[in-house]
């Protein structure tokens, strides 16, 4: 679901939000797009919400995201890959929920497919989009270095990464080659989130995130513990997270490398 952001968050998705906030302002100084949701970002969010007739919470919820994306002429999309089979709360996967948030979203379902990796790849490449992906989220069951996207994470991996029902490190080289065609879909400040339990944990979690980040050229984030933080329209990481960046680096160094994150002297849009 759409990410819920608030003060204290340090995530690549915060960079995306900060960039959109800067592009929506017409007066005042722009905020630093550094991925840190601090006081200045909270103030900017409140000003944006007031101008757009939203509740001035200082938090970026579904309505705020929708308003941030409204003026971008479908330049960016948010995509999701959902592990429906093992979902314990099927209500959160109803497509009408996403239609109520924004028309700039595409949901991809994998109802019990054993070749979920191939299915997701084909779905992402076959949508005929002209826009770029700002955020790709995976929801399902996980384990250290594992993200389920089909029928879960319990079975043995079939020969060939594309036949797998999960993203993992067992066939990292072949999986990287198979997923590489997705890289051009992302915008420069795009990112990936994996909301499976423990996916980012341990050595395997570190390897998986770095492999995917290097393959797609965007940051990849996953939680280190159990993940419960969701509602019918929003997801939030529970507890600490781990993020891998293309070629290594940090949140700040990645953000500073983005042309879109440069200070805006004459912001426009609000």
For residue range 126-175, list pLDDT tens digits in order.
Answer: 766 667 888 888 888 899 999 987 654 444 444 455 457 788 888 788 89
In this prediction, residue 80 has a pLDDT band, given cuts at 50, 70 and 90, of low
How is 180-222 classified by DSSP, letter by letter? GGGGGGEEEEEEEEE-STTTT-HHHHHHHHHHHHHHHTS-EEE
So what's the pLDDT on residue 270?
A: 46
Q: How many CA atoms lie within 13 A of 111 on its CB side?
A: 4
Among residues 1, 233, 225, which one has the least CA distance to residue 100?
Answer: 233
- For the record, the structure tokens of 203 come out as 């050595």
Among residues 81, 170, 169, 77, which one has the least CA distance to residue 118?
Answer: 81
Which residue has tokens 């991996």? 157
So what's the pLDDT on residue 2?
A: 72
Q: pTM for this structure?
A: 0.83
In this prediction, residue 7 has a pLDDT band, given cuts at 50, 70 and 90, of very high
* DSSP 8-state code for residue 63: H
Query: Do the Cβ atoms of 153 and 145 come closer than 8 Å?
Result: no
Q: How many CB atoms lie within 10 A of CB 89?
A: 9
- For the record, the structure tokens of 80 come out as 């999701």
How is 245-259 classified by DSSP, letter by letter? -TTS--HHHHHHT-G
CA distance linking residue 147 with residue 142, whole number of Å: 5
Q: Which residues contact 224 (CB under 8 A, 6 or more apart)?
A: 198, 200, 201, 205, 239, 240, 241, 242
Helix 62-70 and helix 12-23, axial crossing angle in degrees, nearest 10: 50
In this prediction, residue 87 has a pLDDT band, given cuts at 50, 70 and 90, of very low
For residue range 108-123, list pLDDT tens digits in order.
Answer: 655 455 567 888 888 8
Instruction: Calculate what percentage of the chain has a pLDDT beyond 90.
Output: 44
Domains and CATH numbers, the chain: 1-72 (1.10.101.10), 75-249 (no CATH)
pLDDT for 50 beyond 60:
yes
CA distance linking residue 137 with residue 198, whole number of Å: 15
């Amino acid at each position: 679901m759409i990410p819920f952001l608030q003060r204290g968050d340090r995530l690549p998705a915060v960079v995306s939000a900060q960039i959109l906030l800067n592009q929506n302002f017409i007066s005042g100084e722009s905020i630093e797009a550094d991925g840190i949701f601090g006081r200045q970002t909270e103030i900017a969010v409140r000003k944006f919400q007031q101008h757009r007739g939203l509740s001035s919470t200082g938090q970026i919820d579904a309505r705020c995201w929708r308003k941030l994306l409204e003026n971008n002429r479908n330049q960016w999309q948010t995509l999701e890959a959902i592990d429906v089979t093992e979902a314990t709360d099927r209500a959160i996967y109803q497509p009408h929920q996403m239609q109520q948030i924004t028309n700039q979203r595409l949901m991809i379902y994998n109802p019990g497919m054993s070749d979920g990796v191939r299915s997701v790849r084909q779905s992402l490449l076959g949508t005929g989009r002209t826009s770029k992906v700002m955020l790709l989220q995976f929801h399902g069951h996980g384990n250290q270095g594992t993200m389920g996207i089909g029928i879960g994470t319990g079975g043995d991996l079939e020969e060939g990464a594309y036949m797998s029902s999960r993203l993992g490190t067992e066939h990292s080289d072949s999986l990287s080659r198979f997923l590489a065609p997705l890289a051009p879909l992302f915008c420069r400040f795009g990112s990936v989130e994996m909301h499976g339990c423990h996916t980012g944990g341990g050595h395997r979690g570190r390897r998986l995130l770095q492999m995917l980040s290097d393959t797609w050229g965007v940051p990849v984030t996953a939680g280190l513990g159990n993940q419960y933080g969701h509602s019918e329209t929003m997801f939030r990481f529970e507890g600490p997270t781990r993020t891998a960046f293309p070629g290594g680096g940090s949140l700040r160094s990645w953000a500073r490398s983005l042309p879109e994150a440069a200070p805006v002297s004459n912001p426009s849009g609000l």
